[in-house]
Structure 1
Amino acid sequence: MAFTALPVPSQAQTFSFSNVSIEGNQRIEAGTILSYAGIARGAQVSGGELNAAYQRIVASGLFETVEIVPQGNTLVIRVTEYPTINRIAFEGNRRIKDEDLAAIVATQPRRVYSPSAAEQDANAIAEAYTQQGRIAARVTPKLIRRSDNRVDLVYEIFEGGVTEVERISFVGNTEFSDRRLRRVLETKQAGLLRAIITADTFIADRIEFDRQLLQDFYASRGYVDFRITGVNTELASERDAYFVTFNIEEGQQFDIGEISVQSDLPEVDTLLFRDAIKMKSGQTYSPSTIENEIARLERLGVQEGLTFVRVNPRITRNDRTQTLDVAFEMTRGERIFVERIDIEGNTTTLDRVVRRQFDTVEGDPFNPRAIRQSAERIRALGFFSEADVNAREGTTPQQVIIDVNVEEQPTGSIGFGGSYSTSNGLGLSLSFSERNFLGRGQRLSAGVSTASTNNNYSFNFVEPRFLGRDLTFGLGASYSATEQEYAEFDTGRGVFRPSIGFPVSDFGRLSLRYTLEYSDILNTDDGDAGQIIRAEEDLGERWDSSLGYTFSWDTRRDGLDPNAGVLLEFGQDFGGLGGDTSFIETNLRAVAQQRVWNEEVTLRATFEAGALNYTSGRSRVTDRFRLNDSTLRGFEYGGIGPREFNDAEDVDDSLGGNYFAVMRLEAEFPIGLPDEYGITGGLFYDMGSVWGLDDATTSTTTNDILYEDFSLRHVIGFSVFWDSALGPLRLNFSRPLVKEDEDREQNFSLTVSTEF
């Protein structure tokens, strides 16, 4: 016989409560707790539903402990409320101030304490330390119990040490050395000066920024196939240093091949647009060059009355010749207009300062490239810590709204500084500057500087968009009182100069100015001044009034070649618009720079010259050219040129000259020290002369006048450059090869300045 036992279904336990008792609540109403529990009186409730009610009350985040106890027909809910935060404090922090940490945490006093919120705040504080390179920082929230269910919330902080970048290396680079590539990066290696160099701190976000810098560096030099295959960051076993390795593939360098302009639009004259292109076949390919040409062609299209014409580059690759053919295709774009430009976040800066960075106004055709360029100009102002420019659809699909969201940052500063040079000695300075005066985008500065040989006072004001146009209006005033060391007299000189400048081409700029100048020669009786200086002092104070201009051509920053640049400046001042004299003063400066040997060495050639011709009146020592050690190294200020000399009467006065010419040739190169030290070396060869005096000047003395004629001096030497924590420092060691007997040598010169 067989017997089979059938299973009997079990019944889940259920509860039914006619009463609910809530215990332990002080601030929170019982009805609120019941709403979280979701249990109705008299309803059948299972054990699972009781557990769900428990979880809902816990999830509210209002209670430190929760307990649900069925007692017959009564459900007892016992809770312990989280305490109220009495105060928030920070302990152990030295690198970040309490007020800065208080701005990071979300928890506030007089609110209910939340463990999860406190933990999130601790993580946020630790992240702030991580951004400073202190990855070992730990933050622990602690509670100090007070009466009336209150607590003090204390964040105990262990800051830890700075995790530095011990070494930055590259794998796969053949065209550029590790040293050259490290100069591109924002992150620097740690070295002897790690206590004052903060760029050697490891910050993950900075490494990501360095990736983009490296990408841009190679792209601007024609390496279109360059890519970063990976960045390895290894933490040392002591957890105090990182080793960063960039794995890269350089690829081949490409030049620009054939250039053409193509269009299917009958109204487009392709020959006209082809002639407007500045880049040439054979030059190194660069994306920025292409962008500049596109902007130039689109501006020309607007001038020709072509609306909604877009320029799209089509690149054809020639691997055999390593060239890239560039065809600029001019097509008809979508008919989309700018509905309006909305600007938000500018609490100080006026709307018009931001708006004038746009070449586009309401109602113009929408050009995405022009909007991107406007966004870059807004960021370049330096008025905002954040500047986002975005386009969104307007009231119709054919319209867009440009949203500009900015965040202001401080633009003013007060500086206290010190300086030292072998020509002027020790000096102190006090300055004030504001780059966004009254939110109008104007620049205002004033300063006072004193040294052992001179005192200077200056005031400058610049309006970069005068009359709402691309005109720069400037107003400057200065006064200097000098105790001359090279001659037995003192001078006083004041200048008032309004000016206006404007661009005349992509690289050219013209400035016009009016100058009112006061000058005087003083205290010749206190020393052994010669007859010429005494006679010039007897002329008394003098006022000169002149109109002038300066034309400059500068390709050093915006040129097509990142390794070469040229600066040309030519200016003249015409005196005689009132005043006591009539004259023409001409100045010329030309600078050419080229990086060679994988950009490790910078070659620089500079030529400067000046001429002073009086048609009414005569020149004085305060007007004539006198060279200092920054113009011609190897000699004191006023150490060469015409001199009034009489050994018997102990007269040896530097008179300056009506003409000067100087050529400086120099090379700057690394000297084997780590780049983060900022120390480089240089060799230089200088040639120059100062000559020429008025006939009225030479006829006022019976003493000898030396070196009135052109006499070329030659100087050779070497320099040490140091971007130190005290400021840019330069040491020149020089030796004249060709000089005159009475020239005053200066074989060593040192300049350093800084502001605090």
Structure 2
Amino acid sequence: MTDRMRGAALARARAAGTIPAMVLAAALGVAGAASAAVYDQVRLEGAQTVDAETALSLANLRRGADLSLGDLNDAQQRLQQSGLFETVEIVPQGRTLVIRVSEYPVINIVNFEGNRRIKDDQLAEVVQSRSRRVFSPSMAEQDAQAIAAAYASQGRYAARVDPRVIRRSGNRVDLVFEIREGKVTEIERIGFTGNRAFSDRKLRDVLSTKQAGLLRAFVRRDTFAPERMQLDEKLLTDFYRSRGYADFRVQAVAPEVARERDAFFVTYNIYEGPRYHFGNVGVVSEIPGLDVAPYQAQNKVRRGQVYSPSAVENTIQRMETLALQQGLNFVSVEPRVTRNMRNQTLDLTLALVRGPRIFVERIDIEGNTTTLDEVIRRQFRTVEGDPFNPREIRASAERIRALGYFSDAQVETRAGSTPQQVIVDVNVEEQPTGTLSFGASYGADAGVGFNAALSENNFLGRGQTVQLGFSTASGSRSFDFNFVEPYFLGRDLRARFSAWYRTSDYYNARYNTRSIGLSSGIEFPVSDNGRLELRYRISKDKLFDVRPIPDCDVDPDDCSGTPPTPDVGSSPILVEEEGERLTSSLGYSYSYDSRIVGIDPLTAYKLRFSQDFAGLGGDVESVTTTVLAGVESRAWREEVTLRAEFEAGALHMLGDTDSRITDRFRGTGRIRGFEANGFGPRDLNAPYEDALGGNYFWALRTEAQFPIGLPEEYGITGGLFADAGSVWGLDNVAGAPGTSPPDGTVDDDMKVRASVGASIFWTTPIGPLRFNFAKAVKKEDYDRDQPFDLSITTRF
């Protein structure tokens, strides 16, 4: 066989794929695959940028060495896999080994076709192939996979990417990625097996991932994301264990993709286990000389209480805090739990033990591009050099997440420079912290009203809150500004500054008001759940454009009709109150919120008591007292949310001054189903039946929110409510001398108003909408009802 024929055989074998040793042996006319030959010369043909020595090095060949057929086959594979050559042929010619290659062309341009969801410049950052680089088929395939992965991250698992090569002159090619984006691969259904205590609907509400629903074109939480599966498992575990299911676990998660790859079906196989209550609870000490009694007083876990990990954690935190206050370092509390399966109780023993002597070397923070390090560091009760407390580090992580500044916050520890030191790593991922709110209301007489508010909860990355609000309705205008520094003077002191400018031109009254003022305060904790605020307020309130009812006997031109009756004019009470007053007051508020340190996940309480004392300068001397108490609870397998709220207030004037309408309480927003100033004392003899407000008020609001049978992915639930309340009491019901209203035209008695209604709650991409349809079931003839109102809040 001639050399030319042998080369042709090699070429055919190469075209077929790899070159097995036996095929190479047949092409060379060698008897056995194990035969070897010596080649003194090596000639490289077809290469333009690669020299012979480089090719030999890549092929791992040496001149003058004995080369078997297997060696030549391996050499060719190594050259082919180097990524430098499009084709490789090894042709032995006597004692000369000829290596014929054709190099890959150079990429002229890289184009993307068919992409609409991801822009060209974004895809260019994903691929490794670049213009003026050598084309590599393997790299082009990797780039296609990277593009597909970019689409998968947006939920488009059906995306297909095909790299195409267009030959150009001068050994150049255009590399084109043809993209078929496909539809969003939605989660069509989320199901559960093994759940008995809670319905699928309730468990789906716990997950961060949602099913595809009515707003699938806007909502992106319905796309399948494997990285969210771990978070959802943790959410399910926390949900069950906080409700007493200590043995709960997610046994398996089975995501299945549809044949068209446009939908996923996710099934959670869970084990609930029994629901436990606390049995015997005790505190013991394994530290010699340590008195247990003070620590037993910190134990808030009681026998018969539903098991809750947060209740145990809160008790341990109080005990360890007490140890630090007593100057005892490295004291830790170990919870020791014994299960009693027969009566489904957990015996809890809190053991005080001496922990290892480990210190915090430093705290490293990464990922915060906007938020300052100090905002994150102040969430740690531990600083560099303090004893290491794993539970406190976990609590710090929870406080960082609770800030609401980050979509993800991970706090982990690693070994320090010595065995007695650890380094705390904080990795955060920031998220938008601004809120844009819109509101709308409607009344048969007042028409449509609008309001808008803009707030930033992490202003300039300092953790400060800045709020701007504007509202308008029926000629009224208001502008409000609020600034909050949550960590004033580097301590847990919440400093607040507010300013406002408000004017009103009531459609149902012949008077206007204007208020401009400033307020500042400082708030600090007084208990785990309680906080106290001290504040100062100064405002200038003006009542103007009050038109007295004309006397037809004095000026008949001001009267019209037969018999003559005035068609304009305000209540004599308001005529006497017209003018401007400066109010300067000091006040305080105590608030209690069980959600700050939550123990019962099913029920939350809040309480606020406030008093303001006016008379520190200014024209008003008074004491204003308000109280608010609310409760929210879940019932019927947590499918129904029940809410109740009671508030009341009293204004007591000091000295010989009477209250004015700018000081008194009004019915605005206190009872659904009534307009602003829609109920309370009213002068029925005034042409516009002026609402006068009252020195006292109370209101009770109750409601229930529940599913209404629609698929939960639509985000629509229903509600029923019932409200009751009253505004009453005036210091002067006679008005100015000579202008007193007739007897019976001003009723300032405490008369109850009540309303019932239904609500529709709709969670939309622009925010939660609430539609209220109300019916006033107990009212006076002169009250103004409002059968419908709408509110909306959105986030950007």
TM-score of the superposed pair, with normalisation by structure 1: 0.91
For residues 300 and 217 of structure 1, the distance between their equivalents in structure 2, rounded to whole angstroms, comes to 29
Q: Which of 730, 736, 740 is matched with 1:702 structurally?
A: 740
Deviations 1:63-114 (A, max 9, x none): 2222222334443333333333344332222233334333433444443333
Query: Helix, strand or coil for the counterpart of 2:279?
Result: strand
Deviations 1:152-204 (A, max 9, x none): 33222212123333333333322222222222222333344433343333334
- AA aligned opposite 2:660: R
Check whether the contact 2:41–2:96 (CA below 8 A) recurs between aligned residues: yes
Name the structure 2 match of 1:421: 441
Name the structure 2 match of 1:607: 646
- AA aligned opposite 1:518: K
Query: Helix, strand or coil for the counterpart of 1:378?
Result: helix
TM-score of the superposed pair, with normalisation by structure 2: 0.87
**Aligned pair in 2 of structure 1 residues 77, 714: CA closer, same or farther (>3 Å)?**
same
For residues 431 and 601 of structure 2, the distance between their equivalents in structure 1, rounded to whole angstroms, comes to 32
Query: Helix, strand or coil for the counterpart of 2:617?
Result: coil
Name the structure 1 match of 2:481: 459
Check whether the contact 1:570–1:588 (CA below 8 A) recurs between aligned residues: yes
Query: Helix, strand or coil for the counterpart of 1:279?
Result: coil
Residue 713 of structure 2 is aligned to residue 676 of structure 1: yes
Tell me the CA shift for residue 252 of structure 1.
1.4
Structure 2 counterparts to residues 281-296 of structure 1, below 5 A: 281-296=303-318
For residues 621 and 112 of structure 1, the distance between their equivalents in structure 2, rounded to whole angstroms, comes to 83
For residues 33 and 432 of structure 2, the distance between their equivalents in structure 1, rounded to whole angstroms, comes to 76
Check whether the contact 1:342–1:401 (CA below 8 A) recurs between aligned residues: yes
Q: Which of 651, 657, 674 is matched with 1:635 structurally?
A: 674
Tell me the CA shift for residue 515 of structure 1.
1.6
Query: Helix, strand or coil for the counterpart of 1:295?
Result: helix
Name the structure 2 match of 1:507: 529
Query: Helix, strand or coil for the counterpart of 1:695?
Result: coil
Check whether the contact 1:634–1:746 (CA below 8 A) recurs between aligned residues: yes
Q: Which of 167, 188, 194 is matched with 1:166 structurally?
A: 188
Please, which moves more after superposition, 53-62 or 355-364? Answer: 53-62
Query: Helix, strand or coil for the counterpart of 2:73?
Result: helix
Name the structure 2 match of 1:259: 281
Residue 786 of structure 2 is aligned to residue 746 of structure 1: yes
- AA aligned opposite 2:587: G
Computing the radius of gyration over CA atoms, which structure comes out larger, 1 or 2?
2
- AA aligned opposite 2:167: R
- AA aligned opposite 2:572: Q
For residues 529 and 54 of structure 1, the distance between their equivalents in structure 2, rounded to whole angstroms, comes to 104
Tell me the CA shift for residue 384 of structure 1.
4.5
Check whether the contact 2:214–2:713 (CA below 8 A) recurs between aligned residues: no
For residues 356 and 609 of structure 1, the distance between their equivalents in structure 2, rounded to whole angstroms, comes to 37
Name the structure 2 match of 1:473: 495
Tell me the CA shift for residue 284 of structure 1.
0.8
Q: Which of 395, 400, 405 is matched with 2:422 structurally?
A: 400
Provide the alpha-carbon RMSD of the alignment: 2.8
Name the structure 2 match of 1:4: none
Structure 2 counterparts to residues 140-219 of structure 1, below 5 A: 140-219=162-241
- AA aligned opposite 2:709: G
Residues paired across the two proteins, number: 742
For residues 12 and 307 of structure 1, the distance between their equivalents in structure 2, rounded to whole angstroms, comes to 76
Name the structure 2 match of 1:368: 390
Structure 2 counterparts to residues 577-592 of structure 1, below 5 A: 577-592=616-631
For residues 738 and 434 of structure 1, the distance between their equivalents in structure 2, rounded to whole angstroms, comes to 41
Query: Helix, strand or coil for the counterpart of 2:417?
Result: coil
Name the structure 1 match of 2:380: 358
Check whether the contact 1:219–1:286 (CA below 8 A) recurs between aligned residues: yes
For residues 467 and 168 of structure 2, the distance between their equivalents in structure 1, rounded to whole angstroms, comes to 54
Tell me the CA shift for residue 348 of structure 1.
4.0
For residues 33 and 684 of structure 2, the distance between their equivalents in structure 1, rounded to whole angstroms, comes to 125
Identity among equivalent pairs (%): 55
**Aligned pair in 2 of structure 1 residues 13, 279: CA closer, same or farther (>3 Å)?**
same
Q: Which runs of 5+ in 1 are unaligned?
A: 1-7
Check whether the contact 2:45–2:101 (CA below 8 A) recurs between aligned residues: yes
Structure 2 counterparts to residues 318-337 of structure 1, below 5 A: 318-337=340-359
Check whether the contact 1:420–1:426 (CA below 8 A) recurs between aligned residues: yes
Tell me the CA shift for residue 20 of structure 1.
3.1
Check whether the contact 1:411–1:436 (CA below 8 A) recurs between aligned residues: no
Name the structure 2 match of 1:3: none
Residue 120 of structure 2 is aligned to residue 84 of structure 1: no
Q: Which of 559, 583, 603 is matched with 1:544 structurally?
A: 583
Residue 609 of structure 2 is aligned to residue 531 of structure 1: no
For residues 264 and 289 of structure 1, the distance between their equivalents in structure 2, rounded to whole angstroms, comes to 22
Tell me the CA shift for residue 707 of structure 1.
2.3
**Aligned pair in 2 of structure 1 residues 247, 388: CA closer, same or farther (>3 Å)?**
closer
Tell me the CA shift for residue 311 of structure 1.
0.7
Check whether the contact 1:83–1:112 (CA below 8 A) recurs between aligned residues: yes
- AA aligned opposite 1:658: N
**Aligned pair in 2 of structure 1 residues 311, 729: CA closer, same or farther (>3 Å)?**
same
For residues 708 and 653 of structure 2, the distance between their equivalents in structure 1, rounded to whole angstroms, comes to 48
Residue 701 of structure 2 is aligned to residue 664 of structure 1: yes
Tell me the CA shift for residue 331 of structure 1.
0.7
**Aligned pair in 2 of structure 1 residues 486, 567: CA closer, same or farther (>3 Å)?**
farther
Query: Helix, strand or coil for the counterpart of 1:710?
Result: coil
**Aligned pair in 2 of structure 1 residues 197, 314: CA closer, same or farther (>3 Å)?**
same
**Aligned pair in 2 of structure 1 residues 232, 755: CA closer, same or farther (>3 Å)?**
closer
Tell me the CA shift for residue 9 of structure 1.
10
For residues 594 and 519 of structure 1, the distance between their equivalents in structure 2, rounded to whole angstroms, comes to 40
**Aligned pair in 2 of structure 1 residues 519, 264: CA closer, same or farther (>3 Å)?**
same
- AA aligned opposite 2:287: L
Tell me the CA shift for residue 421 of structure 1.
1.1
- AA aligned opposite 2:776: P
Check whether the contact 1:735–1:747 (CA below 8 A) recurs between aligned residues: yes
Name the structure 2 match of 1:278: 300
Deviations 1:95-153 (A, max 9, x none): 33334333433444443333223322322322333333332221112233344444333
Name the structure 1 match of 2:459: 437
Please, which moves more after superposition, 746-755 or 569-578? Answer: 746-755
For residues 449 and 690 of structure 2, the distance between their equivalents in structure 1, rounded to whole angstroms, comes to 25
- AA aligned opposite 2:789: S
- AA aligned opposite 1:529: S
Tell me the CA shift for residue 544 of structure 1.
1.8
**Aligned pair in 2 of structure 1 residues 165, 257: CA closer, same or farther (>3 Å)?**
same
Please, which moves more after superposition, 146-155 or 543-552? Answer: 146-155
Tell me the CA shift for residue 419 of structure 1.
3.3
For residues 112 and 447 of structure 1, the distance between their equivalents in structure 2, rounded to whole angstroms, comes to 59
Name the structure 2 match of 1:576: 615
For residues 483 and 30 of structure 1, the distance between their equivalents in structure 2, rounded to whole angstroms, comes to 93
Residue 589 of structure 2 is aligned to residue 567 of structure 1: no
Check whether the contact 1:419–1:426 (CA below 8 A) recurs between aligned residues: no
Tell me the CA shift for residue 641 of structure 1.
0.9
- AA aligned opposite 1:712: V
Residue 138 of structure 2 is aligned to residue 116 of structure 1: yes
**Aligned pair in 2 of structure 1 residues 570, 550: CA closer, same or farther (>3 Å)?**
same
Deviations 1:659-715 (A, max 9, x none): 100112222222111212222222222221001112387456412452212111222
Tell me the CA shift for residue 602 of structure 1.
1.8
Q: Which of 616, 626, 634 is matched with 1:595 structurally?
A: 634
Query: Helix, strand or coil for the counterpart of 1:619?
Result: coil
For residues 724 and 350 of structure 1, the distance between their equivalents in structure 2, rounded to whole angstroms, comes to 32
Residue 320 of structure 2 is aligned to residue 298 of structure 1: yes
Tell me the CA shift for residue 345 of structure 1.
4.5
Deviations 1:487-529 (A, max 9, x none): 2333222232222112211111112222222322343459633
Q: Which of 714, 723, 727 is matched with 1:690 structurally?
A: 727
**Aligned pair in 2 of structure 1 residues 242, 666: CA closer, same or farther (>3 Å)?**
same
